[in-house]
Amino acid sequence: MKVLFVAGDPKPERWTRPIQEHLPDAEVIAWDPNGGTVNADYAIVWQPPAALFEREPGLKAVFNLGAGVDGLMALPYLPPELTVVRLEDAGMSAQMAEYVLHLVVDISRGMARYRDQQAEARWQIHRPTQRHQWPVGVMGLGQIGQRVARTLAALDYPVSGWSRSAHQLEGVTTYAGTEDLDRFLGATRVLVNTLPLTEQTRDLIDHRLLGKLQADAIVINVGRGEHLVDQDLLQALDDGRVSHAVLDVFRQEPLPAEHPFWRHASVTITPHVSARTLRDTTIEQISTKIRDHAAGRAISGVVDRSRGY
């Protein structure tokens, strides 16, 4: 069995050596852009070149080094019959829940006021948080979205969740489908986006959607930059319909220095760090799935090509 690692890492041995340890009977090969066909059975990829699928027509499955497969699915030469497997969690859901929880607590408890007071050596106590005034809505109820929703609900924030298909989560009010979207938005002051990027979700967070949120809304985008219409958010911030936005993902990354998000007083930017791939956990998960697939056993995380996730 041959496994090809295609991720553009300048030090691919950081991945190939431990993969080889997990798959001792396999030949693990780092992608050479100037090389030839190696007749690989499996490929482990992140943003692979289209040439991969031209050079390696015998691939049985491709394993993505991330939960989002929108970039991979958009490749023009991705064979329609090829099995695509996305990364499931691998430590990312805990990181994402931690990131969102930190923001929701910081904003709802007004911690910025205390930071400002410290700079002035001013002692002033403000009223405690009333959690019912901070209903959170999580768009996207995959593993990451569910973890975010459950974490916030455990601290008694009112939490709603919306997704394309129906879900049941203890302590979370759930909505499903386009027919429920407006009801979900009307119950939401803090909007957290964890959706996968598909043609149906691209540009979803636009002027109309933002206008359906509760007053003094907060937007936290940890999904994809393409979910958000940048100019519509800027307009909503300037109009006061949205009071603050926290953005971790962008249409172009790194975010260009001239982009107005950098200078807007009501926008907080982080450089796509809400959840990072944990190498050891990822390698263990993918290696196990490769062994199972090669042995004819069913594996989870297979992408539904019709849905795009």
Neighbour tally for 10: CB within 10 Å: 5
At 277 the pLDDT is 87
Give the DSSP letter of residue 226.
G
Lowest average pLDDT, out of 40-54, 68-82, 117-131, 220-234, goes to 68-82
Determine the pLDDT at residue 77: 83
**DSSP string for 155-174:** TT--EEEEESS---BTTBEE
In the predicted structure, residue 74 carries a pLDDT above the cut 90: no
Q: What is the pLDDT of residue 203?
A: 98
Residue with tokens 């043609």: 199
To the query of whether residue 113 is one of the catalytic residues in this protein, the response is no
Global confidence as pTM: 0.91
Catalytic residue among 86, 147, 189, 224: 224
Per annotation, catalytic residue among 164, 207, 272, 305: 272
Q: Is 207 a catalytic residue?
A: no
